[in-house]
Amino acid sequence: MIESKVQKSLIDELERKGFDVIKLSVTNKNGIPDIVALPKGCGAVFYEVKQKGKKPSKLQEFRIKELKNHGINVYVYDGDIVNREV
């Protein structure tokens, strides 16, 4: 089975088990694993970085809400933490 199909199978299985799954395609560090599986309430923190005064896109807002609904802390950062609801 080609790698993309193996990844899809794993992602589907993890999501069925209740994990929030993120496939990383580009990161700032080489060698980071392909997939992040976050259990509910794991204590992870995500930051969406924006230029001062800019807001997250609709897709970014959706992902932020999705993560927050999973019990994960997510902040918008534009030089200061912006704690507005998205």
DSSP character for 74?
E
pLDDT at 13: 93
pLDDT of residue 61: 92
| DSSP-assigned letter for residue 75 | E
- The secondary structure of 2-51, three-state, reads CHHHHHHHHHHHHHHCCCEEEECCCCCCCCCCCEEEECCCCCCEEEEECC
State which residues of the chain have pLDDT below 70: 81-86
pTM confidence score: 0.73
pLDDT of the residue at 86: 55
